[in-house]
Structure 1
């Protein structure tokens, strides 16, 4: 993800893309996809007094059948990164059941300025990576209404538009405006491949077994400012 952040810098977007660090992954993982956006709007409705039996009917027929009814599942495929604006309410963007549905439809991850619910279950199965502001307890009914999908939303100080690229890992999340994706990835790859070569030399010096983080992935031109293995070794040997 930090290489993508660097790529944004390379195309002049120094102050664009980085989602606030208060929005964190539920567990250390990585995911990327193109934004499908939606919004949960705080309700002004009052929950009526009723029996628990009547509440079940009210919650499922009225709230989920009308107030929070949506066709979001029709918008999700294997390229989707779900982005949920809860308008800063401490309510869930996803719980265990709906997040499993989205994962089964192919969603790569979820990014939200709200919360995640049922996280013990999600952590056990790790079916959908989630980056959220909070871990929360409430359900949706009586708290938020469905506000639609396909609009620009603001998540952690960054506007996210439909089809923007979302890249996220243990360091947080970054959003690449769709118009800049190709150029940003070009320079993200340039910097990533340079770093891999240097890391390989340093792994050897530190006695760390080489892993995928030091193996080239892309066949790109040599970085114009990359230090050779010999130059890195000479710098290290100077201190002896």
Structure 2
């Protein structure tokens, strides 16, 4: 399912920090994927639907180099990814086996995948960086995935960094990591998040002008009225 361009554009202007606050107000506390750090500074904020991949612990009869040629493989999964998706990989937090290397990331970049997000690590770090694919992960390790993991499926519910991720949920990534927006809450979250960003922009302007925080952040009734008047005039 494609993501509406207007929603993508709106979320591109909303930080993951704001999103976690908005989701907290809606009762969702566990939406930030632990261990998902940008592989390089300055990667753009990106928005996309989740395309999920799942690993389980390595089992010697299954986690072999021969498995890379199986119909159920990371190679096959990459060919099923739609353009513009954000690939979210459940690597169980394993940090001593790289799930993807430079060749797989190069293919993802070539196919127009927006980003790779995982609670695990990548390998061939210099090569991965050279592909230009934006990656959020826990670092790098030389051993291949089969040294510690068995790939089992794609487009199933997964856990990534302790967060439940379902196919077609929406993921936003920026310098603070990766945040999940449940598909069912998308419209309400977008509306609230855009408004919160606008209000916090106004508050920042007040702070830069010397205003004190009590009654301003969060705004009391007087400051809410001032903000609404500013909004009408802007």
| TM bucket normalised to smaller | 0.7 to 0.9
Q: Gapped runs of 5+ residues in structure 1?
A: 48-57, 206-223, 232-240
**SS at structure 2 position matched to 1:190:** helix
Please tell me whether residue 36 in structure 1 is matched to residue 51 in structure 2: yes
Match of 1:10 in 2: 25
**CA pair 225-18 structure 1, distance change in 2 beyond 3 A:** farther
The secondary structure found in structure 2 opposite 1:39 is: strand
Which has more radius of gyration?
1
1:184-223 → structure 2 map (5 Å cutoff):
184-200=189-205
1:24 is the counterpart of 2:37: yes
Q: How many residues align?
A: 197
| Contact kept? 1:131, 1:172, Cα under 8 Å | yes
User: Following superposition, which runs of at least 4 residues in structure 1 exceed 6 angstroms of deviation?
Assistant: none
1:163 and 2:184 matched: no
Aligned-partner Cα distance in 2 for 1:174–1:103 = 21
Deviations 1:166-197 (A, max 9, x none): 11111111111111111111110000111223
Q: Which residue of 2 aligns with 1:54?
A: none
Q: Any stretches of 5+ residues in structure 2 without a counterpart? A: 1-15, 211-222
1:116 aligns with 2:116: no
How do residues 95-174 of structure 1 correspond to structure 2 at under 5 angstroms?
95-125=101-131, 127-174=132-179
Tell me: CA distance 1:117–1:100, structure 2 relative to 1, closer, same or farther (3 Å): same
Q: TM-score, normalised by structure 1?
A: 0.71
| Cα gap change, 1:88 to 1:201, in 2 (>3 Å) | closer
Q: Retained in 1: the 8 A contact 2:58–2:146?
A: no
Distance 2:195 2:135 in 1: 28
State the superposition RMSD in angstroms.
Answer: 2.8
List per-residue Cα deviations over 1:53-108 (Å, max 9, x = no partner): xxxxx84xx23213863521233123311011123333223211111211221211
Structure 2 length-normalised TM: 0.73
Distance in 1, matches of 2:55 and 2:88, equals 11
